[in-house]
Amino acid sequence: MAEDAARRDLVLYGRRLYEKGFVAATDGNLSARLAEGGFLATPTGLPKGELAEGLMARLDSEGRPASGKPSSEWPMHLAIYRARPDVGAVVHAHPPFATALACAGRGLDGAVLSEVIISLGTVPLAPFALPSTEGLAERVASSLGDHSAVLLANHGAVTVGPDVRSAYYRMETLEQASRIQLYADLLGGGRPLPEQAVQALRGLGEGYALAPLPCPACEGCPVAAGEPGAVVLRRDELARLLAEFARGHGRR
């Protein structure tokens, strides 16, 4: 992802994790692989409801901190990026229903709910390891394999995607499916779909993708139209320029 977009989305979807109750206090962490090389990760010790673009930790292309202090679960994110060159973003959270399944030692086999087969597939369970350790990083990356999501025994969940938005929405789908699984269990257990239906739904899933976010500024935007001299400014850059202008104006 481009760095500006990654900073914006890490803040947006980090806050959404908090607002949805998928994390409490300082739980959870998000990261993105940058198109220009290296990574951005949410900082350690900061509630996901209080993130800001300028507070992200920057990692070099080897995953070593270049500025800021990344989440203590950064080694788990890095292990996933090393194992999966297709992954552009990683989201880790403790959503209550998915975490309940993980605490009960269960994954989500994906053969009960049509939507899950289409958009998420099977969700394996990674064996328990102490949080923030290399052991956890290795187990999560190897259990994730080629899947889009993995449950962490007695801990929580990880989802991945080409960008932060996709990884976040997979976490929403995972939590919704886990909640339905639990209710179905209370009613005597979900009835698995016939194998033929599962195969057909998997076929549908291959063409299923989250539509790209339309940019509301694109229509009539001089940058998108390639007009010479047109520039894009982040809010903090604009604030800095206005402050400089105000200082210069004050001296006259």
Give me the active site residues, please.
73
Closest to Zn ion by CB, 34 vs 153, is 153
Show the site string, 199-228: x = touches Zn ion by CB under 5 A, - = not: ------------------------------
Q: At its nearest, how many Å lie between Zn ion and the CB of residue 132?
A: 8
Q: In the bound complex, which residue of the shown chain has the CB atom lying closest to Zn ion?
A: 156
CB proximity list for 199: less than 8 A, separation 6 or greater: none
Pick out residues in 147-176 that bind Zn ion (CB under 5 A): 156
Residue number with CB closer to Zn ion (34 or 152): 152
User: What are the strands of the beta sheet with 125-126, ordered from one edge?
Assistant: 65-67, 57-59, 39-41, 29-33, 89-93, 156-161, 149-152, 125-126
Provide the residue type at 234 as one letter. R
- Among positions 62-121, residues that touch Zn ion (CB under 5 A) are none
Q: Find tokens 């800021």 and name the residue.
A: 68
C-alpha to C-alpha distance for 198 and 182, rounded to whole angstroms: 20
User: Distance between CA 64 and CA 187 in Å, rounded?
Assistant: 49
Closer Cβ to Zn ion, 156 or 161, answer by number: 156
Binding site for Zn ion (CB under 5 A): 156
